[in-house]
Amino acid sequence: MNHDKSTLVLKNLGIETYKESIIYLRADSHMLLSEGFEAKTCVKVSLGKKSIIATINIITSNLLKVGEASLSQYAQELLHALEGEKIIVTHARPVESLSFVRSKIYGNELSSEEIEAIIFDIVSGYYSDIQISAFLTACVGKNLNLKEILNLTKAMIKNGERLSWDEKIIVDKHCIGGLPGNRTTPIIVSIVAAFGLIMPKTSSRAITSPAGTADSMEVLTNVEFNISQIKEIIAKENACIVWGGAVSLSPADDIIIRIERALDLDSEGQMVASILSKKIAAGSNHVIIEIPIGKTAKVRDDEMADILKNYLEKIGKNLGIKVKVLLTDGSQPVGRGIGPALEARDFIAVLKNAENAPQDLRNRALTLAGEVLEFSPKVKRGSGKIIATEILNSGKAWQKFQAICAAQGGMKEIAQAKYIHQCLALNDGVVLEIDNRRISMLAKLAGAPLDKTAGVDLFVKVRKEVKKDEPIFAIHTNSSETLEYALSYFQDNLDLIKIEQ
């Protein structure tokens, strides 16, 4: 019987593949002989009642003894497997939901059951990264219709944790992104919580941008909490500003995001499902969503913005929550800093009512906070922004932000990068355009978001007059090598800030 031969003793080689299930087998293992000497083959790995699908990698050295196998850390966690335990490796039946992915690749509409099967299988660890990549690619652009996005959202909520609250109105805000420096969230949360509304803010880390709110907040305080800790923070301060990935609110999204990141791709339908599933799983029922529109923003024209607005509002309504979408100017970066620490410096300046605080960031945050406040029956329509401004000016927002940080473990000083390199204007003139995408790329090449203090500090705005050799921005980095990369990119892209003579 072949059955015996596929029972292997787990050895922990300590290989972390980041959310990809890999099984390491000896080249002479019987399982491999029957599957053939071909890697990229998937097998089923079981321990007790749990089972996953894992891709085979072959160990040709003597890292494994006869009868041993190893798993990537992620696979081991999914199975709750410990070294020395006996895992059973069997042939994998083709994952049925992959035929739905193929159907989508060829442009067919997916049913609610098909989408749910795909998401269930992804969360269960039955998809390889290659297969998730194909699914994401097939869902890009107009390839998903309203019904499919609704079903994708439902499937993502269903396959994860869900928070519930006693209060009737739970507010939230989200920005579609693509606009460097647009770090309004900490300001809005502080104003809204100071007013008295409940805002359980879970933010993401950057996917393809130089910073996400969670990256930027982490410069100042802790952002990783479990659900009961989050409940405690909110009970104390009405709000939190934490990383959503630490709580399993939409685990499918967390798995998918790392593939999107490797592809540097944002799929519209996936984006809508990702946003709404996280908000609904967090228990929010009144949500403001900002869509910046600009030639070099994530959303480039009104047409796309209207499509997204329509999807977000309709799907929100269908799922029983109030979604209000605001279309904003996305023509240039907001504030000055681009990168986690530099953006933290900017929003702290706004919260402190500092004289040099970036006024565009302040004004944007007040507009959005005003919209959130108007969800409250106590706030008259049209008066939200006035109330928000009063709360910010009074110092109550800054107090509330400090209190939230205290509840999240205390506030740290903002660190600074080792190297700060000034880049100068090549000629006299007026700033005509600033390319959001390329300035973001520059900040990423400088090391953001993983290197928190790295990024770009922007000294100019569109329509500003500049003199030749005046600093127009500074690159913040922590290694001469990264600085070199960033500078060579700038040399190739001198027009990322267009100055008209």
Residues 289-328 touching its own copies, rule: CB under 8 A, are none
Distance CA 351, CA 25 (A): 55
Map the footprint of its own copies across residues 390-419, applying CB under 8 A: none
Give 98 or 241: the residue with its C-beta nearer to its own copies: 98
Backbone angles phi, psi at 160, to 5 degrees: -175, -175
* Cα–Cα distance for residue pair 301/32, rounded to 1 Å: 52
Among positions 447-486, residues that touch its own copies (CB under 8 A) are 447, 449-451, 478-482, 485
Question: Which positions from 55 through 74 interact with its own copies, judged by CB under 8 A?
Answer: 57-63, 72-73
Six token digits for residue 303: 């047409």
118 or 192: whose CB is closer to its own copies?
118
Q: CB of 361 within 8 A of CB of 346?
A: yes
In the bound state with its own copies, the residue whose beta carbon lies nearer, of 133 and 402, is 133
**Contact criterion met (CB below 8 Å) for 183 and 347:** yes
| H-helix or E-strand spanning residue 289 | strand 286-293
The only residue of 77, 113, 167, 264 in contact with its own copies, by rule CB under 8 A? 264
CA dihedral 406, 410, 414, 417 (to 10 degrees): -140
Query: Least distance (Å) from its own copies to the CB of residue 263?
Result: 5
Cβ neighbours for 363, distance < 8 A, ≥ 6 positions apart: none
Binding string, residues 420-449; x marks residues near its own copies by CB under 8 A? ---------------------x---x-x-x
Check residue 258 for interaction with its own copies (CB under 8 A): yes
From the CB of 161, what's the least distance to its own copies, in Å?
A: 23
Annotated active-site residue 266? The verdict is yes
Stretch that binds its own copies, among 38-46, 179-187, 285-293, 427-435 (CB under 8 A): 38-46
Least distance to its own copies, CB of residue 98, Å: 7
Please say which residue, 141 or 196, places its beta carbon nearer to its own copies: 141
Q: Which stretch binds its own copies (CB under 8 A): 134-142, 191-199, 277-285, 329-337?
A: 134-142
Size of the site for its own copies (CB under 8 A): 73
User: Among residues 172, 253, 266, 435, which one is catalytic?
Assistant: 266
CB 338 within 8 A of CB 443: yes
Q: Give the nearest distance from C-beta 112 to its own copies in angstroms.
A: 22
Minimal distance in Å, beta carbon 469 to its own copies? 28
Instruction: CB nearer to its own copies: give 254 or 371.
Output: 254
- For 397, residues 6+ apart whose C-beta sits below 8 A from its C-beta are 187, 190, 191, 194, 351, 391
Contact call for residue 91 and its own copies (CB under 8 A): yes
Closest CA to 259 of 157, 128, 142, 449: 128
98 binds its own copies (CB under 8 A): yes
The answer to the question of residue 14 lying near its own copies (CB under 8 A) is yes
- Asked if the bond preceding 449 is cis, omega within 30° of 0, the reply is yes
Candidates 114, 121, 129, 290; binder of its own copies (CB under 8 A) is 129
Does 86 sit near its own copies (CB under 8 A)?
A: no
CB 494 within 8 A of CB 425: no
Q: Are 175 and 216 a contacting pair, CB within 8 Å?
A: no
Nearest-approach distance from CB 353 to its own copies, in angstroms: 34
Per the structure block, which two tokens stand in for 128?
Answer: 């390889």
106 vs 500 by CB, closer to its own copies: 106
Q: Which amino acid is at 36?
A: G
- The residue from 9, 146, 169, 263 that contacts its own copies (CB under 8 A) is 263
The total of other beta-carbon atoms located within 10 Å of residue 162's CB is 15
Phi, psi for residue 202 in degrees, rounded to 5: -110, 125
The stretch among 39-47, 306-314, 357-365, 398-406 that binds its own copies (CB under 8 A) is: 39-47
Nearer to its own copies, 34 or 310 (CB): 34
Distance between CA atoms of 186 and 462, rounded to whole angstroms?
25
DSSP-derived letter for residue 336 is S
Q: Which residues contact 201 (CB under 8 A, 6 or more apart)?
A: 172, 173, 185, 189, 213, 239, 240, 241, 242
Active site residues: 266
